[in-house]
Structure 1
């Protein structure tokens, strides 16, 4: 079973709700925009435009698999489908309007506002429906204890209405009897050692009877959106599954980086000036904190941040940052929670030393240690680090090696599944984290 074979929607209620939204919102948005911005009376041309937009959006979403039970439930996938579908619809409507010589019959302010706002409203409605309409409970029977799910992971699965239930025994003779007494949507193969012949035979029989077998790797990537890292390093095929950006993706990422850095820099310039004044008043010492961090290919680059800790914060030696770190002064702690201390790094993004989104830049003293303790840790250095990242928005502060391993799983997922849509989702989640909405 691959990720594409896994149904993310057990109930079709959400999917039919999506269809209703897609059929109604384009027409309703055109009506509302015309009501507030239109200077001419509503006529049949607007009626036909709204009807065709709704129908085109519905059809194109169907063609892109937006109503499939197997489509991802992620924000990134919803962004991709909504904006691609809307772009196709607008392009086709433009061609039809041009051929019918009606392109100049519409008020430009109405059409442009409608084109810009409609996908935003569609996306917001789908995210709302996804959160309020609970899917049916998904029962996952766990075979083995090769990986112990953390309380943090269990909480994320519960929010998706997924329940884990462990088997008492992994003996082939007991497996059939245990499975017959359970209602399992998936049998998660979580073995700590290689399965023997009899167990494989019994698993095959269950597969033939319709029990969905899923590996730990696929389960992690599908439902937790992280790449499982085995405690041993014997699976060398793992290295083949992770690769850096190709040229097109790198170009798109740089365009995103420069656009985001310039926009955010201009918007937050007053905040940066205020932060510099507060730091000077509250904690004597340099305003800017600079430090070498490991970047792409293991090279080091100097990054710049607003100093959020006292100048003697590391008098006892280097240590991992913590949530509510006692080494931070009052305004420094506020900057860390709101990510204001990261703003000077926008300069590093413009220079190309950092990406806007990527793995967290770490110090070499830590990476050297973690490379010895965590298999595949070096893989995160296939790409440049970022100001924010997939691991930063989905996992809390880490203070030990196991936390670093958990964060690495998210970093590798981000590298493996990178797309401009995942980039945008990470940015949305970053905003929600800054606003205090850590769960989504």
Structure 2
């Protein structure tokens, strides 16, 4: 039986600490462990092969139905190569669309809408690849038919894969957390469920570790918000690390929070909970976006860096750059690079948070801080992979130790690379309380998308122009 251990080294909480945002979140749990470790799971390999067969097979079948055995214009070998290229394109799009992430055993989302979006993007890339490589992949009308046929086939693949996985693992083992009537109501709902069984009941989330170990529960259902309050940030983090699904029941009151992803479990509405970790495919897509933007803007950035460096040299002398140890992704320390805008020995009395009217700032360089141009050298940190363009701002170790004592769940902001700008920076101020900055950062993590990064970068330009800090 699985043995769970509670970890508290990466999170701290304070009595009565208030969370500035509702922490009910909507995406599936991110897995811990080695990057892409799930790719070596036999379930993934099985699904990947099924998808490759479905995509390539769809293209062949469409051509056979339309043209019979005599295909127009090109020799058949030309088509095989084109179909192979298109198959690889779609498999790549599927990966970045999260179609190979593990789904929760309870309350999983329908596959078809997500697959249809991925197929539409893949078909667009098929057309783009045909133009860029001057290679005829397939007739254009076939692309439309491929969208329909492959969407249905890939959905069927996941239904088959899930069926065999559930047969191998047996029914879900459910642990109920709540009081009185809420537990009794849930038990009545589960009485007719063939794919799930209730294996335990507890009233307090603090009892979860022992009960999950004893019962081998695969899913935990929190039946009221008081249970959730006791589960965040621990034991939710440890349960997530062990692959145990955690679901929060949504009552009529919680619908006012505007949750968009409510899932049905045994006829009851729940939302999937997770620690604030991004999936592997999201991290890789985010990294790809960062490198693309930095390389694209590098000529303009180099000119700006040269001019700013000269101005700092004139106003403040040497050194022009300032290095400082910060805490980044997963608690790793690194040296952040900035233009030096403060006097020498600005922190002789110890680490201090910068303020709006900070007397340590060199005369003539305050505008660089108010426009955040002093952060531009951190593009080097982005290229090195230590930072991202957008993400929670990295803090110094001394400050983090203080914040973790005061703000429950503060370490959750280290679940993705820190950024030059962030959601908290475009919404807050220097004096914004760390608890509220944490709320912005966690909202960013659970709602991340490339489009959101673009929006934050554009809004950062507005902040720079208006000098709103």
> TM range, normalised to the smaller chain?
0.3 to 0.5
- Indicate the structure whose relative CO is greater, using CA pairs within 8 Å and at least 6 residues apart: 2
TM-score (normalised: structure 1): 0.46
Higher helix share goes to which structure? 1
TM-score (normalised: structure 2): 0.44
